[in-house]
Structure 1
Amino acid sequence: MTQPTSSDQPVLRVTGATVTLDGRRVLTGVDLDVAPGEFVTLLGANGSGKSTLVRAAVGLVPLDSGSVELFGTPLARFRDRRRIGYVPQRSRAVAGVPATVHEVVMSGRLPRRPYLGFGGRADREAVEAAVDRVGLGDRLRSSLADLSGGQQQRVLIARALVTGADLLVMDEPTAGVDHRHQESLAELLGDLSRDGVSVLLVAHELGPMRVLIDRAVVLHDGVVRYDGPVSGVTGEEHEHVHHHATRETRIDVPGAEGVW
């Protein structure tokens, strides 16, 4: 049985995280906490370290130094993966995937099953409920390749939801998604947040998510430049976040999404 998280214990704690990829220092001494039920957004230009930070937080990128704890347990000893729903960037997660919506979302049930194989009735019902919740109940048997970008993003969210996660980590879920679908996603995340799910959201722009956010963390060149209420991200700071987006380069680790 899953032990409840103490009200004063972060669901995620990153301390002094330093990461080097391909000979380039991407993060330097980053601290980040997410409290139970808290909605935190990471802001910053491409190359600022946002994606690397969340991938390090879920164990997809190794730290040079520092530490990560999930629900009070050091990352190296954390085994209860069903408590985390990770939504990677759509462009990396779905490219060339020859699978149906049902198959992709069913893969999210693996952490809840003691053995590999076909899902049982409970798994099928959970998949159908998650797909309905993201508004794709009529596309359950559709090929992922036949869906729009926004629909593919919602499939990845359903895969994360089907675990029954306590912490949802999302890497730019609104990238390439039109405003209507952004509003739909904001409504869904608002419901989850009210249910006590913690959210860590990587974003370039907040849009309809702004009203949900408890705290904003701004990264620049791999260090934290701001950590506080979203209202404290001023127009000047927002411009600073996006000004260098065209010249900075995101660092990727090929194949890392296969872990999740």
Structure 2
Amino acid sequence: MKQQIMFDLDDTLIHCNKYFYLVIDQFIDAMTTWFGSSSLVTVQAIRDKQMEIDIAGVAVFGFKSEHFPQSFVDTYIHFSHLTGRKRSTNEENFLWKLGLSVYEHDTEPYPNMEQTLFSLSESGHELHLYTGGELPIQRRKIEKLNLERYFESRIYIRRLKNSDSLESILSTGQFDRSSTWMVGNSIRTDVVPALTAGIHAIHMRAVTEWEYNVVQIEVEPKGAFLTLDHLKDVPDAIHGYVNR
């Protein structure tokens, strides 16, 4: 039976978080170099403050590219005030450019991405791509891997990725919710919205998950709710549920 299967992009089909973690580590290195004489500016304190600022901004403004470098600058300003260390325009400019550099990394697919999408497409399923972020950045990733081969025009890019965004896509499109799936790594932006909308959900468990994505699930599934560790297991999981 034909299914409509919606995939998340970042950290479901392609690597994303690992590049952010790499740049955050570089940010922390710079901060500890500049503020090294202060006992108030520890690696953990820097990491916690940057995460706090980052998550607060995403919750309000969505996935804006400027937000990540701004979290570096705001963290720097916080510790400058805390320690009394004089701010430097050169240092702030360096942090801004460092934050933006995360978007320049190569687009790297997860293992078996191609095999998984090909298998589902060849089985007659209709594939959709639903991702959060800014249009130019997400489009560049999609075009880099030529993902239109599988998703064609069924690509949805939203700055805010939440229950309202998913509901809007489902309501304006031709979706049969009893045969529609959401496959993604984020409990907050993929799983909970899918369960709220009454469609099937597959949580792709990440090795290291961004704290923003981790929330309690307080929605009763109306259909399937599966948890997998590998993309290659998605086709069999869906076929197993449909043919149960």
User: TM-score scaled to structure 1, two decimals?
Assistant: 0.27
More helix as a share of residues? 2
The structure with higher relative contact order (CA 8 Å, sep 6+) is 1
More strand as a share of residues? 1
Rg bigger for which structure?
Answer: 2
